[in-house]
Every structure is written in structure tokens, then in C-alpha cells.
Copies of this chain bind each other. A is one copy, B any other.
Amino acid sequence: MKIKELQTPALLVDGAALEYNLATMSEALPGPRLRPHVKAHKCTELARRQAEGGHTGFTCATIRECEGMAAAGLGSDLMLANEVVDARRIGALIAMNKAARVTLAVDSDASIEAAAAGGVRDVVIDVNVGLPRCGCAPEDAGRLADLARARGLNVRGVMGYEGHVVGVEDRAVRESSTADCMKLLLSAHADVGGELISAGGTGTYDINTWANEIQAGSYALMDTAYGHLDLPFRQALTVLATVISVAPGYAVADCGLKALGMDHGNPTIPDATVFFCSDEHVTFIPDEGAPVKFGDRIRVVPAHVDPTVAYHERMHITDGDGVAETWPVDLRGW
């Protein structure tokens, strides 16, 4: 199939850029040094490529992601990097699938109790290293680990995501901030023990040398937010759109709010300026000398990969003008 035959909007992944990104990351963080986060692509076929590259442990954000990964035979070492109130689906998953292992994040007495009650076996102590989100105070990590062990849970170590740092454009600040964050995580790990010190993202993959595994996900597909950083990864993801209307001074294509994550702002369009997005439209101003006409295909580059992919049922892996493969985005929902 040719790209031009696709219905639009359609999620395109440049096959060569994807391969480049996967290879570049695998060289920097071989094997278990990388625990790819599947939330960025929500696609078991893409995860399979990451596993073939030696990364057989994965990070998940939802129970559905864990279930889907296990069903695809990729569940030998899943970390659900979120607290869960009702953990029974995780307990059922590991009870029914002997090849599956799910390590659940806990950050409070109550979340430990929920893990134990749900039939979870493995946990990691989630430590707040500065991002105001989940995670216990570093000085409380040892106590929680003791509590978890007393409840019969296997404590595999610590995780602490420097999510407020991964997007900082100044590399020197990113480095010093990551060091500050990881000092907290290592102090927690000294109290907790266990083999895992899990942290990091695409923006700190080569900076965070304190963690022994990095939870990067966006690097495979990339977005314009990470594109502003000094990273070696290529923009693999675009949304293919069709120009449906042209007026003096602007044009409209069929890729809108329901095909794009908008929390990082508007997408970008090569040789054009994005004016605004509506539910099913993007209105844009073509650069002088780059006019468009009804039926033209354009590429829209998302500002944020994760919530963009989550709107689409499938992604098309391209090779030049052709579609080499089409992969279902099969880990959506909850």
C-alpha cells in the first residue's frame, strides 16, 4: 500500500527514523539499562521491536497496558509505575499467566495494603524526587519497604521519576537538577535495598547515570517538545492530513483536536504556520512560495507524542512512499 492511499488523518511512523531511534538508544543503554515505557506508543508490535533489541523489561502506566503486554508475550518483567487502589486485576493477571511478572509502584501505607490485598507479589517503592506527583518522601522509603516486606511483598527497589527535569532545554540545568533528584533517590535506595533503581526519561537518558535502569518512552517516536532539546533522536511520528479547503491566506486540513495531544500546544507543519485547531481541522498559513491546494497531503508534527497516539487505532510504518506495516495501537484505554 502507498501512503497516498491512506484515509486521513492517519498516524505515520517513519520506519527508518524509528529504527535509528531504537538503535541509538540501545547502543547508549543496552539490555536491562533501558526499561522502555510503553505509554508513549501503546503498541505491542513496537514493544516487540524494543524487546528484540534486548530490552525485555517494560514500564507501563495502566493496568490495561500490563494486560496487553502480557497477552502479547511481553510480560516477563513489567513495572506498573503508578499506584493502584484496586489491584485485583494485577493479581488475576499474574495468577493466570505464569510467564507474567508485574512490579507495582507503592508510595504509602494504603497503597501497600492495596497491593497485598489485590494479590500483587512484587513492588517498588515510588519516591518523590521533586516532581509534585506520586512518590513518598525519600526519608519515608525505608519504613514503607519494611512495611511492604512485613505484608509479604517482595520489594525490588526504588523508582523516582525526575519528570520536572526531563524537558528542561538547558542541558547544564538538566544535568545538575537530575543529580539533585538522584541524590534523593539513592538515599532512599540505601534504606530500601533491592536490585532496582529505576528513573529517567528521554530527556535524561544519557544524563541519569545514577539510576540503573531508565524508563524512557518518547525517544522511539519523538515529538516537537523533545525535539527542542539536544537529543540525537529523529522525529519519526507525524499525522498525515489532507487539505480540504483553501482560502486567500490560509488553508484547512483534516487533522484536529481528536487526532493530536494538545497539552503542549499546537502541532507544527513544515513550510507553514499553524493558526488554530478545531475538532477535526487544523487551519494553517502556508509559507510564501509553498502554496497548497485541495487534496494535497501534509504532515502534521505533534507537540506531545503520548496523548496523540492514544487517539489513534493504528500506526502505519512507512518506507519511502509506501506503507511497510500497520500496527494496532492496542494498549489504549484502561
On A, residues with C-beta under 8 Å from B are 7-10, 39, 61-62, 82-86, 107-108, 110-111, 114, 128, 132-135, 137, 163, 242-247, 250, 252, 254, 257-259, 261-263, 275-281, 283, 293-295, 304, 306-307, 310-313, 333-334
Contact = CB atoms under 8 A, between A and B. Distances in A.
Chain A interface helix/strand/loop/mixed: loop
A247 B107 CA distance: 10
A112 to B, nearest CB: 10
Q: For the complex formed by this chain, how many copies does it contain in all?
A: 2
22 contacts: A7-B86, A9-B334, A10-B334, A83-B252, A84-B244, A85-B242, A85-B294, A107-B245, A108-B245, A108-B246, A110-B294, A132-B247, A133-B252, A133-B278, A133-B281, A134-B244, A134-B252, A137-B247, A257-B263, A257-B307, A259-B334, A313-B333
A310 B307 contact: no
A284 to B, nearest CB: 10
Which one of A61, A108, A252, A258 has the highest number of Cβ atoms from chain B below 10 Å of its Cβ?
A258
A316 to B, nearest CB: 13
A135 B311 CA distance: 27
A310 B261 CA distance: 12
Which one of A245, A247, A276 has the highest number of Cβ atoms from chain B below 10 Å of its Cβ?
A245
B306 A244 contact: no
Contacts of A134: 244-245, 252, 281
